[in-house]
Amino acid sequence: MSKLPMDVITDIFSRLPLKPLVRFKALSKPCCSLIDDPDFIHDHLGRSVKTRSNLNILLKGLHLYSVEFDSLDNAVPLDYPLSSGAGTEAFGSCNGILAFRLTDKNLALFNPSTRQFRRLPVSEIDPPPGESCKSGYIFYGFGQDVKTNDYKVVRLAKFNKTDDEEDESFFFDYEVKVYSLKNDSWRKITKLPRYLRFMFQFFYHLLHRRGYGVLAGGVLHWVMPPRMELGMKNMIVGFDLGTEEFIEVPQPDCADKSYLLDVGVLEGRLCAVCNYDQAKIDVWVMKEYGVKESWTPLLSIQRTRAITTLAFLKPLAYSKDLDKVLMEINSQKFVWYDLEKKKMRGVKIGGSPGTFGAEVYIGSLVQIDDPKRVQIEKRKEQEKLKNKSCKKRDDFLSKGFKLLKGLIIYTDNCEGLLISILLSLRISQKVDLGSQTQIDM
């Protein structure tokens, strides 16, 4: 490799999958420096996105599983440092980084490809002053602020009055906080729109799993549930990770009759999923973010003999040829939808749980390690090596330079010193201290 130009090596490495790249870091210091270089990481990620490679599907149920997108054959339990049995939630992914929630005080980021993880500092949920409140439903979201190259976690905590039932009140106060990976700290958002008070509805979010923000165009999206008694229809609520402000996102002109709205994402573009009484579902794609006129119908499916109820549908990813879309239906099965033939074909994945939520994530080399933690680990490793070196020296001295009782060798010059060292190295057997001992050189 020393005979190859560095730009050739870089180009070859940029085309490799993640697993061999991670192993190649152990080849040499130059290889490690290249693979850890931010420019290389950015270029490798860009190539993966462009070629639709290094894709995986995360299955979220009682436990977490990972499936390679290219094969779609077997679900493998996801091994991660924060694993503590069942109950871990994965509430978002971005550029190969997964966001985990063990409890509301135990959040973390994890890159499955590099095995790096980072615990988030604890940020308490503070109820409004002067009111008797308790925290209720909590929304989460995770994504990247592209302008600053910062990864952020958003937490929306709803408050209930202590004497209110969970599903009886229409008006809720919220606390919104944003975590910045660059600053490793939380910041409270004080400018909140009034419509946020209507965002939660118990059975609506319980049945349709709309608590996790959907990332598209640098904005996290949630759906505001319709409240017919208040004259409020479906609404898409966005949180811009750059400006850290809430926005209203225009939605497509679906059919006039009532429908339930959901959101998804395909290759970074926002999708709207319009469900008509669980009998028919239309999926739209926003070609140009924020432009209402750019909403374009993608597909439409109806109930079949194999799928008698369309309770839930989520678009996941295009095929490599862009002629099919992989979808999750009713939290129980995967199907390929052929965009040209307008037909569906079921996909069976071995080892997958009976019910699940699915999310696509891309493998990457993006670094998330805490610099402080890295320095501490390096210091510990250096101390360990130092102690190991000292132990080897002590063992060598105890075995090779062991002085026998009654035998004292005086050395006045270099020759005598050399003789004493050679003698001590040759003495390995027990010596009768009561008898004369003669050593010939």
Per-position pLDDT tens, the chain of length 441: 567 788 888 889 999 999 899 998 888 888 899 999 999 999 999 999 999 999 999 998 888 999 999 999 999 999 888 665 567 889 999 999 999 998 888 899 999 999 999 999 999 988 877 666 777 888 999 999 999 999 999 999 888 776 555 444 555 688 999 999 999 999 999 999 988 888 887 767 766 566 789 999 999 999 988 777 777 778 899 999 999 999 999 999 876 667 889 999 999 999 999 999 889 999 999 999 999 999 999 999 998 888 888 888 999 999 999 999 999 999 889 999 999 999 999 999 998 888 888 999 999 999 998 655 555 556 666 777 777 766 666 665 555 444 433 334 333 444 444 444 344 444 444 434 344 444 343
Contacts (Cβ under 8 Å, ≥6 apart) of 224: 195, 198, 199, 232, 234, 235, 236, 237
Q: Is 406 helix (H, G, I), strand (E, B) or coil?
A: coil
Q: How many residues does the chain have?
A: 441
Contacts (Cβ under 8 Å, ≥6 apart) of 43: 14
Query: At residue 251, what is the residue type?
Result: Q
- pTM score of the predicted model: 0.81
For residue 191, the tally of other CB atoms under 10 A from its CB is 8
Burial class (CB in 10 A: 0-12, 13-18, 19+), 397: exposed
Q: What H or E segment, with its residue span, contains residue 77?
A: strand 76-77
Contact yes or no for 251/235 (Cβ under 8 A) = yes
Q: What is the pLDDT of residue 86?
A: 61
Burial class (CB in 10 A: 0-12, 13-18, 19+), 314: buried
Contact yes or no for 99/79 (Cβ under 8 A) = no
Q: What is the pLDDT of residue 416?
A: 44
Tokens, residue 87: 């109950």
Cα–Cα dist 409/300, whole Å: 96
Tokens, residue 116: 């790096």
Tokens, residue 182: 């660059």
The tokens 């037909």 sit on which residue? 343
Q: What is the pLDDT of residue 158?
A: 86
For residue 116, the tally of other CB atoms under 10 A from its CB is 19
Q: What is the DSSP letter of 74?
A: B
Q: What is the pLDDT of residue 42?
A: 94
Q: What is the pLDDT of residue 440?
A: 41
